[in-house]
Amino acid sequence: MRILLLSAYDAHSHRRWRQGLVAAFPEWQWTVLTLPPRFFSWRVRGNSLSWAFAERETLEQSYDVLIATSMTDLSALKGLVPALANVPALVYCHENQFAYPDRRDGQTIEPKVTSLYALLAADRVVFNSAWNRESFLDGARALLQLMPDAVPDGVVESVAGKSCILPVPLEAHWFDKAGETANTDGPFTIVWNHRWEHDKAPERLFGALLALHAAGLDFRVHVVGQQFREQPPVFAEMYPLLKDHIGEWGMVDADADYQRLLRQSHVVLTTALHEFQGLAVLEAVASGCLPLAPDRLAYPEFIPDSCRYPSYPDDPGRESAVIAEHLQRLCVRYYQHDLPASPAVRDLSWSCLLPAYRAEINGLA
């Protein structure tokens, strides 16, 4: 089978997904085109133009199936490259613009409409979580209701009817502990592993940590993740107050070092206000961490009830207090050698999800 795979905004999670997909099916012949994850507005709207002129010879080859990420302007690309018009297409949705808490001023509806058109142009649509699908469908429905006229019936239903849920799988190495387990003699260790941006709600993390510090608890925290030139000021404000408890701080560049850090931690905490699957948390759980996640977004699909705390998205102070209460209980149980085991997430591995991926792709050929 000849497959054209397009990743129009090849961010880390998109890259690992398409690399895993290619590696999972070496018997198929893959042609992969990617564009770098920068200049978001231009990339989302301009990828069809970029590829149609720069990669026309590649795009006009014969393919059995076309697979594209939802950032790909598929409807325009099929129009600009007629050879693709009749190739069965699957669009994979890692996220959606309708549920993204965009802080930029002057946001337009164009990224939302472009993604809607891409899904309408596909023969099959795959979302990584039910939360992603429902928030997309609800957002698209609400947007179309705002349009002044000539909105046809059945647009959202068309997408829903050809969609399914299939998470981004976890690679095998996350489940390979290689004899490394969390130290039961050292301090209670928490890891918070997210991009250092507002939508990950770091102020809730630090509010909870200050409460643990005030209670006199012995703990260590690793605050790791991708950093940017502009980041929430709470990171700089909180470091001096919590420096005696802080282990790793910032991006851990080496994969082996990052995996070792996860395997040697006890609890992975997330405070995210924006998440469509939560791969960073799931990687930590596969590595042996006990998760502590809010009861919102996609987390109820992947994290057990016992590992979720009440969600107060509009009340950061209250949520920090709730997080602190849960962490204090877990800290006490750790020192009593009674910390629960991490939940099983092996059903999210490539080995378990591969048959479902094969069925979806074969169904198009």
Q: Bridge-partner residues for 91, per DSSP?
A: 68, 125
**Residues carrying CATH 3.40.50.2000, the chain:** 2-169+350-362, 172-335
Q: What is the rounded distance in angstroms from the CA atom of residue 17 to the CA atom of residue 365?
A: 21
- The rounded average pLDDT for each run of 10 residues, N- to C-terminus, in the chain (365 residues) is 97 95 98 96 95 98 98 97 98 92 61 95 98 97 94 96 98 78 83 95 97 97 92 95 96 94 97 96 97 98 98 97 98 96 96 98 94
Q: Which fold has domain 172-335?
A: Rossmann fold (3.40.50)
List all residues 6 or more positions away from 233 whose beta carbon is below 8 Å from its beta carbon. Answer: none
Q: How many CA atoms lie within 13 A of 352 on its CB side?
A: 14
Under CATH, which number does the domain 2-169+350-362 receive? Answer: 3.40.50.2000
Query: Whole-model pTM?
Result: 0.94
CA-atom Rg of the chain in angstroms? 22
What confidence score (pLDDT) does residue 106 get? 45
3-state helix, strand, coil in the chain (%, to 5): 45, 15, 40
Q: What is the rounded distance in angstroms from the CA atom of residue 272 to the CA atom of residue 212?
A: 20
Give the position of tokens 């990828």. Answer: 47
Angle at 103 between CA 98 and CA 109, to 5 degrees: 40
